[in-house]
Structure 1
Amino acid sequence: MSKNPTIRKFVWGVSFLVALFVNFPIIIINLPFLKQSYTTVLDIGFQIVTCFIYSIFAIHFTYKNIQNKVSKTKQIAFGFMLFVAFVTVLSLINIFVVRLPPKMIPTIMMRGFLIAIIAYFFSRFLIETDKKNEALLENEQLKHENLLNQLNSLKNQLNPHFLFNSLNTLSWLINEDKERSQLYLQKLSQVLRYSLSMQEQPLVFLKEELTLMDNYIFLLQMRFGENLKIVKHIEGSDKFKIPPHSLQLLIENAIKHNIVSSLKPLTIKIEVEPEEKIIKISNSINLKLNSSGTGIGLANLSERFKILVGEEIDISQNEEFTVILPLIS
């Protein structure tokens, strides 16, 4: 039988109800004599206790035999031995303890047979329940593994995109200014170190993500200077979590699709709204020619939030392009 104490108590409860059920006629017949005869009380007590014990053993061994796929012949033989033991014990109690006549033996056999049938079908019910529970548990494990695989796949799509753009920027800086390229390389190494350390974490504190964002913005402003303006309102961000690299991807996305020049500077605003549990990232719109893109980056980010947070990101475009990310307390 299952080691689960709840299942054991359930079996004991069912066994007690079975014992009452098979002895119900005897209880009803002897009910008027309970106060008058001590022997009657003793008789009913022995009947119920013996049937209760027999029911527990019958369920236990029937369950084990079916679960272990014991042959039908062995199951019947073992059930018959248990049945004989029950009939013998209760008959001896009735004859020598309660002093009932041997003619009661057929009723004992009938009760034993009835308990055996109930035990068999109840054991089948337990086994089917176990199978369903195992199937549900296996499905949950498969779902969990599938979500992890999806998440890792999405991470693997995001990281090469970031690395490709960063190396392009570094290549440009090496040709333009070697001293600045050294500083850029130091900051880039910090960003990559963060990326590696957070690779296996589905969620990070928003404060850590904002630190990464500051390093990343530093890298961008080394290239674009005053042409890239960042406005931040991030008070109340300490208690929230977010999927790693979320902010970085949105900033990168704004740079990718918009002109960043002295004539058309790009402004990116980052606002934390603690009461609403959201962070809003918006940017001015000065689209490059042929900047429609594939939409893979935002689609992947939305899918990550759907998997980890249970919510999708909110994207809107009016005078500004705005993405709202849900935060986790």
Structure 2
Amino acid sequence: MKYFRFARWDYLVLVLSVYPFMIIVAYLILGDDYFTPVTFFYATLLALPVSTASWVTHIMTANFLRDLLPSHTSTTKRILIQLPIYFILTQIGICFGTYLVFHLVHLAHEPMSWQSFKPLIYAGFILNVIATSSHEGMILFDKWKISLVETEQLKKINLQRQLDSLKSQVNPHFLFNSLNCLSALINTDPPKASEFLDEMSKVYRYLLRSNDTELTTLTSELQFAHSFFHMLKTRYGGGIALHVDVNQDYNDYLLPPLTLQLLIENAVKHNMILKDQPLIIKVFTSAGGVLTVTNNLQKKNSKILSNKVGLQNIATKYQLLHHVDIDIKNGPDDFSVTVPLIKNQVYESINS
């Protein structure tokens, strides 16, 4: 049947509320005679199916009302409808049980007075209030747990969308700058332009692959950075230098793809590159699992047009993935950006 369904808390209500109430009702009807062995056995045996049938009827009514008024905003309305219905059903069950005790199996020797019956009415009302409140409370608790799971899923979906958006910003940004470099080389040095194009194809393959992952190993990122720097070296020659000093213990640590490319590109974009005054970029790790990219400051005289994709992109990725900030220092002689390296185990625990 459609409404013949039970949750685990329904069985808890049966065991912790209905059956104890059954014992109280039996005692109120029979008095001390209830605890004599024969009376206790037959009265309990009689009350079990009556109380169970009453419980099933209550649950089916609750399921019907829950389907009729499913919204959490209808909780008060459901309770106000349930209480009188449950009260009537409970009294029917009590009256039926009393009839069986007095007229069918003759367990009681004296007729039951109205004064003796009134406590049963009060007890039934109290039981209905407790059972209904507990039942609705458990339903709200389950809905709350489901809403937490759904909220967490929505957060993950939203984070993924934001990450995908950040990745889509990097690709055209990198392609635009690379094509500008290639265009300049074609006019000034065609052989270097050809070499630049070869390196550009290698670098862009890595860039496209990076769209499929949120994090990459430091080893992979360094290999890509060397390829990217080779493109810069093709164009600028002795005007630029890269020094890498990385502790191999951090090779398998993770960071967002293209982090080094964006930091190196940021240094090139904002500084003069001269053969007699080279731009020196240093990449190194430090204790605590952090990676620093630093360059000497030799700012360009002209104003640089910037859409602020680079550093903002990295900072946002770290906030989304690891809830930490990157450290940017702009000193009198150098500029540095320090990013945390993420352990594989930490990343897996965050996304589990």
Partner of 1:65: 64
Report if the CA contact (8 A) 2:83-2:129 is conserved: no
SS of the residue corresponding to residue 282 of structure 2 reads strand
The verdict on how the C-alpha distance between 1:196 and 1:167 changes in structure 2, with shifts beyond 3 A counting, is same
Within 5 Å, which residues of 2 pair with 1:59-208? 60-69=59-68, 83=90, 86-87=93-94, 90-91=97-98, 94=101, 99-100=107-108, 103=112, 106=117, 114-208=126-220
Mark the runs of 5 or more structure 2 residues left unpaired by the alignment: 1-5, 70-76, 344-352
- Cα deviations across residues 40-95 of structure 1 (Å, max 9, x unaligned)? 543675488557635753553243122211698x9799858965774477457645
Of the structure 1 ranges 162-171 and 131-140, higher mean CA displacement relative to structure 2 is found in 131-140
Mark the runs of 5 or more structure 1 residues left unpaired by the alignment: 1-6
Of the structure 1 ranges 87-96 and 245-254, higher mean CA displacement relative to structure 2 is found in 87-96
Report if the CA contact (8 A) 2:281-2:296 is conserved: yes
Within 5 Å, which residues of 2 pair with 1:259-278? 259-273=272-286, 275-278=287-290
What TM-score do you get using the length of structure 1 for normalisation? Answer: 0.80
Partner of 2:41: 42
AA of the residue aligned to 1:146: N
How far apart are the structure 2 equivalents of 1:266 and 1:28?
Answer: 94
Report if the CA contact (8 A) 2:272-2:279 is conserved: yes
AA of the residue aligned to 2:329: S
Of the structure 1 ranges 276-285 and 228-237, higher mean CA displacement relative to structure 2 is found in 228-237
The verdict on how the C-alpha distance between 1:201 and 1:86 changes in structure 2, with shifts beyond 3 A counting, is farther
What TM-score do you get using the length of structure 2 for normalisation? Answer: 0.75
The verdict on how the C-alpha distance between 1:173 and 1:116 changes in structure 2, with shifts beyond 3 A counting, is same
Report sequence identity in percent. Answer: 28
Of the structure 1 ranges 178-187 and 127-136, higher mean CA displacement relative to structure 2 is found in 127-136
Report if the CA contact (8 A) 2:87-2:128 is conserved: no
Partner of 1:310: 323
The verdict on how the C-alpha distance between 1:260 and 1:84 changes in structure 2, with shifts beyond 3 A counting, is same
- Cα deviations across residues 205-230 of structure 1 (Å, max 9, x unaligned)? 22221221111011111111222111
How far apart are the structure 1 equivalents of 2:54 and 2:243?
Answer: 75
AA of the residue aligned to 2:265: E
Partner of 1:14: 13
How far apart are the structure 1 equivalents of 2:22 and 2:193?
Answer: 91
How far apart are residue 197 of structure 1 and its match?
A: 1.8
How far apart are the structure 2 equivalents of 1:83 and 1:179?
Answer: 95
Partner of 2:74: none
Q: CA RMSD in A?
A: 3.8
> How many corresponding residue pairs?
321
Report if the CA contact (8 A) 2:250-2:289 is conserved: no
